[in-house]
Each structure stands twice: as structure tokens, then as C-alpha cells.
A and B are shown apart, each in its own frame.
Chain A
């Protein structure tokens, strides 16, 4: 009987804790003064740890932009490196406020895992890399070839599904460790290697002769990488979403970290006035600081600046913008209006 009472008491406490009135994480972050951002344990170009211990990368810059927009300081971020296994638990338990960790937006993660995704920051897709002299140019050329792939990933499943459906027979060469995969590929242990295209591009730079390899045009999966927050906190989710939209809008209007101050002073464009000067309280009503988007652009830069700094032509990766161009340039980046 005593045990039963104890058990009931524990259950009661648990439910009581769960039932506490919901306040948004956004307010909590403002009080705390730092944003805890979940990033990768290391993905070249997206999350890098530099030799001085500082973080840089595409995902890292989005964390900084969110911090700048919410707290006014791009440095007020605490980065939490998460392995792929623990990333969702970290969001569910509140260990991180937002997950910006090259995570593909899928239906099951949106519903079953209990995440709420913000707009895609990077449209990726699974592709193939092969030697120029191998004669592999299209998917059909992969018939009978050996393809290196990482075990236990969605990449492996996609490969089997897509090539199976096309009736293309191939020999998978499966490894656990990605370093081993590219070593094997470089030494001729397989004819082609497959993973997300951004990954292929970054890995190509470290092959013995990068110019001897090319990435096939074909893309066999959709991998929209998007920031996510915990389900059920729409205020916070909206705030994160509109930071991303704000940076895309900034690129659209040509507002950069260099000119944002003069644009904010001189602009007569009503959209920019709303975005940069909080005219009509448009930015404040998102829950950001009234100068939040201004600060994010000033301290971190617009979408194009973030992209170019981490993945652009001046980096080892030189990933073509492709789908990640503005809708006006043939891509699919399209931010709803701020008004």
C-alpha cells in the first residue's frame, strides 16, 4: 500500500510539472541572456571548430543571427555539439533552445519526434561523385559498378530504393566511417561514392586530385536542412522562422552587413522600413528586439553573406547556389513578406 502511494505521488508530481502554465522559451531566453544552440559534432562548412576553439560555419552563423535578433548580441550563443543520436532528445528535454544541425525536415520528425521546423536554410540532395575517366555521367552508367556508401544512414536506404526502382544493379561498398569511405574511393576501391551533394563537394577538396572527379547532375533525394525547435511553442518557433525569412529578405533587397546602417537611415522602401526600423511594430510583434533583424544583418550578414562566407567560391567547398538561390535567380528561396 505504501509503495502504491509513493508511486502515485511520483506520478502526481510528474504530471504537475508537465502541467505548469506554458511560457514561451523566447521569454526564458531573454531572461537568461544567452541562446543555447544545438550544432553538429563537426560537418565541414556547416559546423567547424577552429584551432582557437571558436565555432564557424553555415549552421553556426544562423545560430548567431538568431541570438542577434533575440538578444541583440551575435556572441550571446552557447554552442552545444550534438551527435546525430542525441540531437532530438536534446530538443525534447530542453537541453538546447534551437537545433541548427544539418537536420533534414521530414514528416516523421515534424510529427512523431515532436519538432517544429523553421524554413529551410539549405536545400540539399543526395548525389554521386565519380572519376572523370570512369565514364559515369548519368545514373544509368552506374549499372554493375561499386558504390561506396555510409552504413546505417538514410543515404544507404535511398540508394537502394532509387536505383532499385530504376532497375540499376550495383554493388554497395558499405563503411561505417566516412573517412574510410573517401579513402577507399580515392584509392579506387569503388567507382562512385554517394552522399548529400554538399558533403560530396566538401570531400572532393581533400581527394588527392580534386579536379579528376566530378559530381553527377542527378539528385536522388530531397534533403531540406532546416532549423527546428520543440513542438508546441509557436511563439518561439515563429521568432526563429522570421529570422531566417528576414535574412533571405535582406538578400532580396540587397541589404548587407556593410550597408545596413545607411539603408536603415535613408530607405524610402516601406518593406525595408518595417524590417529595419520596426515601423508599425512589425519586428516587435514577432517577439524579436525592435532592432532584431537590423542587428542580425549587421552582425552576421544576409543569407548570401552567410552562404558565401561558409560555402561560397572563396571557401574550399565552392558549393554552387543552385536551389539555394533567390526565386528571382532561379532558386527556390522565397520569403513571405514582412508586413
Chain B
């Protein structure tokens, strides 16, 4: 009879994984222990600091500046109404996406990510923020209401693009107000100059506008660059190369300092924000064009030839054969660029606008803040990291999901 032997060592599971990967010899064991100790110690110190030493009351007091900066106090409901409308649109789109063949997993994820934030703010608002007590709750309700409306009424998806178009215009009108400026200084829908827009609201406006508008512009420029029409081709090449030849901050300078001098005597006619939006969008479009061109180059010629053989027109070929494949190949690059643009909005300080990043500098030099030994730079930096991370990270996730869904790298 064969004597019973010990079972072989397990090779899967948590224990064996650690044994094989972190403690497989003495050297690695020491490194593992030291690394874990270091991480634990830093985390412990960070949390101790965050919860016992950080001067969060100052940050907390300035939440309004971080949100909308100097937007008039009595009109705070307007940015919040705009937020409600935007969140409603996001919810609606996510709800409608649930009827798509792919199951709308990506949109659902984005929606819940936003909803988590909005619901969190709604709770904070109910408890602490008297001036905007119910508005954040309304935002949250509209957000989730939109989602279930979309789920319940799939027919709306045919009109979704129009709903978005009208919604964006409405959001703009709500934030900007209605002309003329000086009709009544107390009126609820009075005009608010773009110089008074700021904080995270401005960050979102600039980055959303830049990302959305530069996408079609970039595709157009990329196609233009590959076009056989010389005017189109050389215009596209010239535009792309000139714009990419200088850093964004230089273009913002030009937009803010030269344009008003060249155009006319009163820059109020083209406020700083619009000049910034134009500069950011055109800059982003040039980079987008090069990304898309990379994708276009990756589509084999055989695809075009096959399309021609089937009798597709040049436009049909581009729209249905070449572009879908080209864009699919460059999703990571496009998302990467969008994340970059989202963070580059902090450069708008050159035109005296205050996005969330520049608001933190203002807060850091308030007289009462200067009385705090060592200042509150660390607290403010952590807040910025948290805010930027929350959105950038979500963009990354969406990008990975999209790649997986489209099978990038699998064919």
C-alpha cells in the first residue's frame, strides 16, 4: 500500500499568491515587508494629518468660491438649475442607453458615478448649506429622474440629440442670463458677465466645450489633411502645424492680449471667456486631428478599395468604413487628450479667469488664512487632487470599457 502523502502545495488563492510573488526568497521578503511598512506608515500619517491637523474649516468656508467663484450670491440657484438640467440630460442619455444592443454599460457607469457625487452634495446641502439647501437635492432628483425616464420611454432616443441641443442652449442662457445687462440690477434673470463665472463651474464649461467641439473639428482637419484638394489640404496642414508649434499658454496670451487690440477698442464685445473657449478648442482640435490621422493611417487601403468596389461613394466610404475603424484605434489617445484638456483649463489665469485651480491660490492668500502657521496649501492641494481625480479617473474607466466593447487590440 502506498503511504499517504501530503497534498501538493496550493498554487492558487491569496496565500500562495503572496508566497510566490512577494516572499519567494529572503531578498524579496525584506523588500515586501519594508514596502508594506512604508505604505502603511505614510497612509497612517496622512490620515492622522487629514483628520486631526488639517484646517478644513477654511476650505469648507470657501466652498462657494470653489464652486462658482464670484457669481452673484442671490443668483446661486442659476448655476444649480443649470447643473440640474445637465445632470438630467446625463441621466436621460444613460437611461436611454440601457435599450442599446450593448446594454449601455458604459453610460450606466458614468451615470452612477455622477449620481454618487450629486447625492453626496445633496446630503451636504440639506444639512449645511442654507442658501442652496434644496437645490442640490433637486439636481440629484432630476439626475435619477432622467435616468428612469430614459429607461421607461425608449422612444425618446430618436429625439435625444435635439434634447441635448436645446438643453445646452438652455443651460447657457440660465448661467449667462438674458440681455440687456442693465435692465434691472435685481432681476432674477439678469445678465452675469463671464468674468464672474468661475470655480469648478468654469472648469467644467471650458473642458466640456473644448472636448465636445474639438472632436468634430479635429476629424474635419484630419480628413482635410488627407484630402486631395490642395486648398483644403494645405490649410489643414498649416493650421495643425502652426497651432501645435506653440504651447497652449501662448495661444491663450494671443487670444487675450492681441485679439482685443486687433479687433476693436472694446474687448467687452468678445469677453475673455469666449476668447479662451476659442483658443482652447482650436488648440485641442489640432492635436485631435493628429490623433485621428494616426487612426486613419492604420486603416488598410484594402478597406477603401473594397468599399469602392461595392459602389459606395467617397463620403459613404469615409463615414461608414474608414472613420469607425480609425476612431476605434485611437480611443486611448483621444481620451488621454481629453483628460489633459480637463486639467489644462487651469491656464486660464492668463486672462484673469478663475477656474478651480486658480481659486485655490486666492483662498491661500485670504487674510485669515495667512494667520494659520504654514498656510493651508496642503489642504487645498488635496482638495484639488480629489476633484480632478474623481473626473479624470472616470474618463479613464469609460475609455477602457469602450476599448473592450469595440474590441480594440483583439483583431
Binding site for B on A (CB under 8 A): 17, 32-33, 41-45, 48-53, 78, 80-83, 85-86, 89-90, 92-95, 179, 183, 186, 202-203, 205-210, 315-317
Contact = CB atoms under 8 A, between A and B. Distances in A.
A194 B358 CA distance: 24
A41 B370 contact: no
B373 A208 contact: yes
A206 B368 CA distance: 10
A193 to B, nearest CB: 15
B73 interface: yes
* In the A-B complex, the 5 residue pairs with the closest CB atoms: A44-B365, A206-B375, A205-B370, A51-B62, A53-B70
Contact of B352 (A83, A179, A203): A83
The residue in A41, A49, A208 that gathers the most chain B C-beta atoms within 10 A of its C-beta is: A49
Scoring B366, B367, B375 by chain A CB atoms within 10 A of each residue's CB, the highest score goes to: B367
Interface of B: 61-62, 64-65, 69-73, 182, 193, 195, 253, 256-257, 260-261, 264-268, 349-352, 354, 358, 361-375, 377
A85 B366 contact: no
**Which of A51, A92, A210 gathers the greatest number of chain B CB atoms within 10 Å?**
A51
Given A81-B352, A82-B352, A51 B61 contact: yes
Contacts of A183: 377
A206 B369 contact: yes
A64 B39 CA distance: 53
B370 A316 contact: yes
Nearest to B266: A94
Given A51-B61, A179-B377, A206-B375, 18 more contacts: A41-B362, A51-B65, A53-B70, A80-B195, A83-B349, A85-B253, A86-B350, A86-B351, A89-B257, A89-B267, A95-B260, A95-B266, A179-B364, A186-B374, A206-B373, A208-B374, A210-B373, A315-B367
B64 A93 contact: no
A317 B369 CA distance: 12
Nearest to A34: B182
Question: How would you classify the secondary structure of chain B's contact residues: helix, strand, loop or mixed?
Answer: helix
A11 to B, nearest CB: 14
Contacts of A49: 65, 69-70, 362, 366
Contacts of A86: 256-257, 350-352
Given A206-B372, A206-B373, A48 B367 contact: yes
A78 B194 CA distance: 13
A43 to B, nearest CB: 7
B182 A89 contact: no
Contact of A52 (B64, B265, B365, B370): B64
Contacts of A32: 182
Contact of A53 (B71, B267, B366, B369): B71
Residue of B193, B265, B352 with most chain A CB atoms under a 10 A cut-off = B352
B64 A41 contact: no
B275 to A, nearest CB: 11
B365 A42 contact: yes
Contacts of B193: 78
B267 A95 contact: yes
B367 A52 contact: no
A53 B64 contact: yes
Given A49-B362, A86-B257, A316 B352 contact: no
A186 B373 CA distance: 11
A95 B375 CA distance: 34
Contacts of B260: 89, 93, 95
Contacts of A85: 253, 256-257, 350
Contacts of A89: 256-257, 260-261, 267
Nearest to A78: B193
Contact of B261 (A44, A51, A92): A92
A92 B268 CA distance: 13
A85 B249 CA distance: 12
Contacts of A208: 373-374
A278 to B, nearest CB: 28
Given A41-B352, A52-B64, A93 B265 contact: yes
A87 B10 CA distance: 71
A17 B257 contact: no
A48 B240 CA distance: 41
A32 to B, nearest CB: 8
B182 A52 contact: no
A205 B358 CA distance: 22
A93 B367 contact: no
A316 B362 contact: no
Given A49-B65, A206-B374, A81 B367 contact: no
Nearest to A87: B352
A315 B365 CA distance: 13
Contact of B350 (A48, A81, A83): A83
Nearest to B61: A51
15 contacts: A17-B265, A41-B358, A42-B365, A43-B365, A44-B366, A49-B70, A49-B362, A51-B62, A80-B195, A86-B352, A179-B361, A183-B377, A206-B370, A207-B373, A208-B373
A205 B366 CA distance: 12
B283 to A, nearest CB: 18
A80 B194 CA distance: 11
Contacts of A33: 182
Contacts of B369: 206
Contacts of B195: 80-81
Contacts of B62: 51
A78 B185 CA distance: 12
Contacts of B351: 83, 86
Contacts of B370: 44, 202-203, 205-206, 316-317
B373 A45 contact: no
Contacts of B264: 17
A51 B354 contact: no
A52 B71 CA distance: 10
A45 B377 CA distance: 18
Contacts of B354: 41, 81
Contacts of A206: 369-375
A49 B195 CA distance: 14
Given A45-B367, A80-B195, A51 B265 contact: no
A93 B266 contact: yes
B373 A209 contact: yes
Nearest to B268: A95
B367 A44 contact: yes
A85 B349 CA distance: 10
Nearest to B193: A78
Contacts of B374: 186, 206-208
Contacts of A94: 265-266
A205 B377 contact: no
A48 B70 CA distance: 12
Contacts of A42: 361-362, 365
